[in-house]
Amino acid sequence: MKIGIIGAGAVGAACAMATLIRGCASELVLVNRGRDRAKGMATDMGYGAPLSSTTKVTDGDYSDLAGATLVMITVGVNEKSGGATDRSDPQGRLRLLDKNAEVYRQVIPSITKAAPDAVLLVVTDPPDPLAYLTRALAGHERVLSTGTLLDSLRFRVHLGRRLKVAPKTIEAQVLGEHGTSQIFHWSGARVGGVPISDALEQLGLMQGDDIRATIENEVRYANITIIEGIGASQYGIGMVCARIAEIVLRDERTVVPIGVYNSRLGVTLSLPGVVGRHGCLQILDPPLSNDEQVGMKKCIETLRKAQERIR
């Protein structure tokens, strides 16, 4: 099966490398405005590909996306160049929306013309309103945003550090926007089936708003911390995109927090979704505490306003 990646910047490169290592596709096509960069990247990765997979890596134009099962879209202004690295800025990634919406209006028609049956995975920030726009431009429902899957992994990692347990044994999700209005689903968080609040108490760890606030800040601004160190948040999202691609190509019907248009709410946001070959097949509504319900309402309003900006 073929996967296309639009954009050969830091994130596009990380997505390509992670996808290549997982070996979930038979062919990987890299498309970039400057084709020389895509060609160089494809050539470099292609030499190492035999060590991990049988994936064929090539550069190409939009027409080379024909027959693609999934296309990742990573093009646009990033957080650093777009001025979205101020922790005190309530807009966060939404500051990039107007510029990146213009980029998407140019590239989405070319993608859908070449690969009309592909699932489209929006990676560019801010992914949720851009996925909303992509759905309108593409004219179909097979549109996903990377949403809060990476945020949820970060949440699990920071909880694991506090509890001194492996993050993979923790069930914890971030819901809503991949941005400053995101909701931490504390009421549903578990470790080994034990509620997180009980686990903290049993392990003799302090519990309360201070721990929650600390972890939430670590997760919410993890991207800025990474950018301050290496200039771009790329490797984690690359691994997330490769995993989503694997879920789609294998038609796994795996449940993950993922960004998809919710017709009941009228916005694209992340809730647990059943993901398979045709995108998100069903959305699940987790029970929320009173505080989480209030947070969700604020999040929905934030996303509605963002969507109105780019209609």
- Write phi, then psi, for 254 (nearest 5 degrees): -80, 145
Q: C-alpha angle with apex 289: 284 to 294, nearest 5 degrees?
A: 95
From the list 140, 158, 178, 278, the catalytic residue is: 178
Strands 68-73 and 2-6: parallel
- Beta strands 267-276 and 254-262, pairing class: antiparallel
CB-count burial class (<10 Å; 0-12, 13-18, 19+) for 194? middle
Token pair belonging to 311: 């209609």
- Cα–Cα distance between 7 and 28 in angstroms, integer? 13
Which residues 6+ apart lie within 8 Å of 199 measured at CB?
163, 191, 192
Rounded CA-CA distance 2/25 in Å is: 6
From the number of C-beta atoms within 10 Å of its C-beta (0-12, 13-18, 19+), residue 210 rates as exposed
Residue 291: Cβ within 10 Å count: 12
Q: Which residue carries 């400057």 as its tokens?
A: 34
Please choose, from the candidates 38, 29, 33, the residue with its C-alpha nearest in 3D space to the C-alpha of residue 115. 29
Q: How many residues does the chain have?
A: 311
> Are 59 and 38 a contacting pair, CB within 8 Å?
yes
158 a catalytic residue: no
Q: Which of 64, 45, 65, 63 is nearest to 55 (CA)?
A: 45
Residues with a catalytic annotation lie at 178
